[in-house]
Amino acid sequence: MKLNKTTLSDLPSGVSRPQYNRANLKHGIIHIGVGGFHRAHQAMYTDRLLQQGGNDDWAICGVGLREADRTMQSVLAEQDYLYTLIELGSDGTNALSVIGAITDFLFAPDDPDRVIEKLASPDVRIVSLTITEGGYNVDDNTGLFNHEHPDVVHDLQHPQQPRTVFGFLTEALARRRNRGLAPFTIMSCDNLPHNGHAARSALLAFAYMRDAGLAEWIDQQVTFPCSMVDRITPGTTPAHTEWLKLSHGIEDRWPVICEPFTQWVLEDNFCNGRPDWASAGARFTGNVAPYELMKIRLLNASHSAMAYLGYLAGYRYTHEVMADSRFTDFIRAFMDEDVTPILGDIPGVDLVGYKATLIDRFSNPQVGDQLARLCLDGSSKIPKFLVPTIRALIQESRPLDRVALVIASWAVYLKGKDEAGHLHEVRDPLAERLQTAVQDRDSLNQTFLGMEDLFSRDLIHSRAFCAAFESAVKRLESDGVLATLESLSVT
Ligand code: NAD
Chain segment 186-208, per-residue pLDDT in tens: 999 998 889 999 999 999 999 99
Q: Which CATH number fits domain 290-490: 1.10.3720.10, 3.40.190.10, 1.10.1660.10, 1.10.1040.10?
A: 1.10.1040.10
Q: Atom 27 (ligand 1): residue with closest C-alpha?
A: 37
Contact 359, 322 (CB under 8 A): yes
Q: Ligand 1 pocket, 258 CB below 6 A? A: no
Whole-number Cα distances in Å, 130 to 41, 453, 469: 11, 28, 37
Note the pLDDT of residue 142. Answer: 77
Q: How far apart are CA 490 and CA 296, in angstroms?
A: 28
**Residue 102 confidence (pLDDT) above 90:** yes
> Measured in angstroms, how far is the CA atom of residue 374 from the centroid of ligand 1?
16
| DSSP single-letter state for residue 90 | T
How far apart CA 109 and CA 97 sit, in angstroms, is: 31
ipTM: 0.99
Report the C-alpha gap between 206 and 166 in whole angstroms: 7
pLDDT at position 490: 64
For the CA of 164, the nearest atom of ligand 1 = 19
Which ligand 1 atom lies nearest to the CA of residue 37?
26
Q: According to CATH, what is the number of the domain 8-285?
A: 3.40.50.720
The CA distance from 350 to 340, in Å, is: 12
Lowest mean pLDDT among 130-134, 151-155, 403-407, 420-424: 130-134
Q: Name every residue whose Cβ is closer than 8 Å to that of residue 361 and which is 6 or more positions away in sequence.
A: 232, 259, 261, 367
**Average per-residue pLDDT in the chain?**
96
Query: Starting at the edge strand that comes first in sequence, how are the strands of the sheet with 83-88 ordered?
Result: 94-99, 83-88, 256-258
For 236-295, write each residue's pLDDT tens digit.
Answer: 999 999 999 999 999 999 999 999 999 999 999 999 999 999 999 999 999 999 999 999
**Ligand 1, from 129, 131, 236: best to mutate by most atoms within 8 Å of Cβ?**
131
2 phi, psi to nearest 5 deg: -75, 135
Is the minimum distance from the CB of 135 to ligand 1 under 6 angstroms?
Answer: yes
Q: 239: which residues sit within 8 A by CB, 6+ positions away?
A: none
pLDDT of res. 252 = 98
User: Does the C-beta of 418 come closer than 6 Å to ligand 1?
Assistant: no
pLDDT in tens, 219-234: 999 999 999 999 999 8
pLDDT at 141 over 70: no
Nearest ligand 1 atom to the CA of 68 is: 11
Q: How far is CA 442 from CA 316, 416, 438, 470, in A?
A: 30, 18, 10, 10
User: Which parts of 280-420 fold into alpha helices (H)?
Assistant: 289-294, 301-313, 318-322, 325-333, 340-343, 351-363, 371-375, 378-385, 387-395, 401-413
- Cβ–ligand 1 distance for 67 under 6 Å, the answer no
Going from the Cα of 35 to the center of ligand 1, the distance in angstroms, rounded, reads 6
Is the distance from the beta carbon of residue 62 to the nearest atom of ligand 1 less than 6 Å? no
pLDDT at 222: 98
- pLDDT above 90 for 344: no
The number of helix segments (H) and strand segments (E) in the chain equals 24, 11
Predicted confidence band at 133 (pLDDT cuts at 50, 70, 90)?
Answer: confident
3-state SS assignment for residue 75 = helix
Read off the pLDDT band of 368 (50, 70, 90): confident
pLDDT greater than 80 at residue 455: yes
pLDDT of 491 strictly over 70: no
Q: Return all residues near 437 (Cβ < 8 A) that are at least 6 apart.
A: 414, 447, 448, 450, 451
Alpha-helical regions (H) of 96-229: 112-119, 150-157, 165-178, 195-210, 212-221
Single-letter residue type at 130: T
Nearest CA to ligand 1 atom 9: 33
Which three-class secondary structure state does DSSP give residue 192? coil
Q: Which residues are registered as beta bridge partners of 214? A: none
Asked if pLDDT for residue 140 goes beyond 80, the answer is no
Residues of the chain with CATH 3.40.50.720: 8-285
**30, containing H or E segment:** strand 27-32
In tens, the pLDDT along 422-444 reads: 999 999 989 999 999 999 999 99
Band the pLDDT of 218: cuts 50, 70, 90.
very high
Report CA-CA distances (Å) from 301 to 46, 339, 387, 406.
30, 9, 9, 10
Please list the residue range(s) of the chain that carry CATH number 1.10.1040.10: 290-490
CB proximity list for 485: less than 8 A, separation 6 or greater:
309, 326, 327, 329, 330
Model confidence at 139, in pLDDT bands (50, 70, 90)? confident
For the chain, what percent of residues have pLDDT higher than 70? 99
Q: Is 299 in the pocket of ligand 1 (CB under 6 A)?
A: no
What was the pLDDT predicted at 40?
98
